Structure 1
Amino acid sequence: MLLSGLEPMIVSPYTNFVNIGERCNVAGSRRFCRLIKNEQYEQAIDVAREQVQSGAQLLDVNMDDGLLDGPYAMSKFLRLIATEPDIAKVPVCIDSSDFSVIIAGLEAIQG
């Protein structure tokens, strides 16, 4: 399987472990949720950056929260991290139980 951010990532049967950053998830990180709800996207970008700097090979992004406009938040966040080469180098996993959020995410990323 070939995944791509700005740099390609190849996952094969010989790949032992893929480190997925899970902190860009409003359901799994209180800090990230607070930043997104307060529309502090520049600080939310730092959450993604910290994960990549700590070794995340892929970023899981989730905006499933009843108090958020999920499609807007997903699109805005993904477009912002795409402008940061140190973050955009890793692939993104768009994670949502809402199909409209997934569509918004797919429309906002490369590939």
Structure 2
Amino acid sequence: MGQITFIEHDGTQHEVTLEADKSLMQHAVDNLVPGIDADCGGGCACGTCHVIVDDGWYAKTGAINGDEQQMLDMTPEGAATSRLACQVQVTEAMDGLVVRLPEFQM
């Protein structure tokens, strides 16, 4: 089994077991990772599951659609590798993925 590491803004790390075919947001929610609010439940409608993907992993997270980009454009802590965790479908190839959480969600 693989793993995904979520790193809070203060540096606290949360390692969770990778489960293919679940969203990155669902991994965080199922494992009680603080800092992922997921207010809309994964509908790409709120931006409260914003994560910043480590550079080396960004390409593996897939393409950003227009709705996600609009939400990310409103995120004050956005970065070049920002994603909404609800829009990232986890695959076995993401074993070792590292994402960082912003200080605040929208």
TM beyond 0.5: no
Which TM-score applies when normalising by structure 1?
0.29
Which TM-score applies when normalising by structure 2?
0.30
Structure number with the higher helix fraction is 1
Bigger RCO (CA 8 Å, 6+ sep) = 2
Considering only CA atoms, is the larger Rg found in Structure 1 or Structure 2?
1
